[in-house]
Amino acid sequence: MRTIGTGMLAGLLGGVALGCVSLAGMTGTAVAKAPEYTFAMITHAQPGDTFWDIIRKGAEAAAKKDHVKLVYLNNPNASGEAQLITNVTQQHVDGIAATLAFPDAEDSALAQAEKAGIPVVGFNAGTSEWKKAGMMMYVGQDETIAGEAVGDRLNELGAKSVVCVDQQQGAIQLEARCDGIKKTFKGKMSVLYVNGYDMAGAQSRIVAKLQQDHAIDYVVTLGAPFAPTAIQAVKMANSKAKVATFDLNPQAVHLIQEGKLQFAVDQQPYVQGYEAVDFLWLYKTNGDVVGGGKPVLTGPTFVTSKNIAAVAKFAKRGTR
């Protein structure tokens, strides 16, 4: 005999009341095998961004729990991500979880998936666009709200002049972060665009910006991999600016512990990856639509020197 968890049991029995089932008395042969689906996860991840490793870990954990096959694909370009959606639609996958970083480019491909009867869940990017794109559910952080929270925090910290470093011009979720800061920050704010994950190029541009404007007292990066680059740039420019970042990774955790990074805004990517897959599974096995027509929010959560000890143990295993 084997013991079956209630979460798995619900999927196996598809609606049989749990109260009528004796878990202890069930054998492996008494229960039908859970249906196995193939779900595609498509992101705009850029090479070198460890953030997406955490999302993928969450997705893989949910796929394992739900007994589904996960196909993970990524392309940082608008047309490239749209083409991936088209490809998996033509392969007749059972569900798609996609980031909506480039709505104008992706809308047509998403419409094809929906016409084919494939459920689509949005996550990570597209908080304000997912309904228009016809997605069934959405899980992620409201980037405008996150940006506004950062602006408020910078006010509390006494910042007067901030530069927001954007590594992917045109990605709506990154634009929303900078726009959110600008909305609530009472000082001067400017946006500095850098070319993807060319860290040498990013460092040079940040150094030049700091040398050009000595009044800048905070550099806010939109991705954790850029935090150490910004810290080094501040040192090279002989600037007194402090550094903060959106998103979190193990290196950012160490920098916060060392007092070199002031804070990180964690949108909890592991949860996003996990729930995107799990939402598809719930819909396929039980017809569930989560969120009540609203996005399911995973952030923002601030990680600072005050709570870093609690977060560090999870970052060490790669889930924060």
pLDDT (tens digit per residue) in 89-109: 999 999 999 999 999 999 999
Please list the residues that pair with 193 across neighbouring strands.
166
Domains in the chain, number: 3
Of 25-34, 136-145, 204-213, 228-237, the least confident: 25-34
Q: What is the mean pLDDT of residues 11-35?
A: 41
**75 and 171 share a domain?**
no
**147 and 251 share a domain?**
yes
Tens of pLDDT, residues 140-190 = 999 999 999 999 999 999 999 999 999 988 888 999 999 999 999 999 999
The answer, yes or no, to whether residue 6 has pLDDT greater than 50, is: no
The answer, yes or no, to whether residue 236 has pLDDT greater than 90, is: yes
> Could you give the percent of the chain with pLDDT greater than 70?
89
Task: Give the torsion through C-alpha atoms of 97, 87, 114, 93, to 10 deg.
Answer: -60
**94 and 125 share a domain?**
yes
**181 and 245 share a domain?**
yes
Q: What is the mean pLDDT of residues 39-46?
A: 96
Predicted confidence at residue 23, as pLDDT, reads 33
**73 and 179 share a domain?**
no
Query: Is 124 domain-assigned?
Result: yes
Query: Is 192 domain-assigned?
Result: yes
Cβ neighbourhood burial of 203 (10 Å; 0-12, 13-18, 19+): buried
**How high does pLDDT run on average in the chain?**
90
User: Which SS3 state, helix, strand or coil, does residue 204 take?
Assistant: helix
Query: Is 301 domain-assigned?
Result: no
**48 and 133 share a domain?**
yes
Q: How many residues does the chain have?
A: 320
**59 and 2 share a domain?**
no
User: Which SS3 state, helix, strand or coil, does residue 18 take?
Assistant: helix
Measured from the Cβ of residue 243, the count of other Cβ atoms closer than 10 Å reads 24
User: Which SS3 state, helix, strand or coil, does residue 264 take?
Assistant: strand
Q: What is the mean pLDDT of residues 184-211?
A: 96
**152 and 199 share a domain?**
yes
**178 and 231 share a domain?**
yes
More confident residue, 15 or 310: 310
**148 and 238 share a domain?**
yes
User: Which SS3 state, helix, strand or coil, does residue 8 take?
Assistant: helix
The answer, yes or no, to whether residue 12 has pLDDT greater than 80, is: no
Query: Is 313 domain-assigned?
Result: no
Q: What is the mean pLDDT of residues 260-270?
A: 97
The answer, yes or no, to whether residue 204 has pLDDT greater than 60, is: yes
Which domain range does residue 147 map to? 143-266
The answer, yes or no, to whether residue 27 has pLDDT greater than 90, is: no
Query: Is 109 domain-assigned?
Result: yes
> d(Cα 37, Cα 85) in Å, to the nearest integer?
17
Question: pLDDT class for 33, splitting at 50, 70, 90?
Answer: low
Which CATH number characterizes residue 194's domain? 3.40.50.2300
Q: Which two tokens stand for residue 8?
A: 């798995």
> Could you give the percent of the chain with pLDDT greater than 90?
83
Predicted confidence at residue 215, as pLDDT, reads 98
Helical spans, DSSP H, in the chain: 6-13, 51-66, 78-90, 103-115, 143-156, 172-184, 199-212, 227-236, 250-257, 269-286, 308-316
CA-wise closest residue to 99 among 62, 68, 54, 133 = 133
DSSP code at position 116: T
**277 and 137 share a domain?**
yes
**177 and 231 share a domain?**
yes
Question: pLDDT class for 49, splitting at 50, 70, 90?
Answer: confident
Contacts of residue 157, defined as CB under 8 A and 6 or more positions apart, other chains included, come to 218, 262
The answer, yes or no, to whether residue 9 has pLDDT greater than 60, is: no
Cβ neighbourhood burial of 229 (10 Å; 0-12, 13-18, 19+): buried
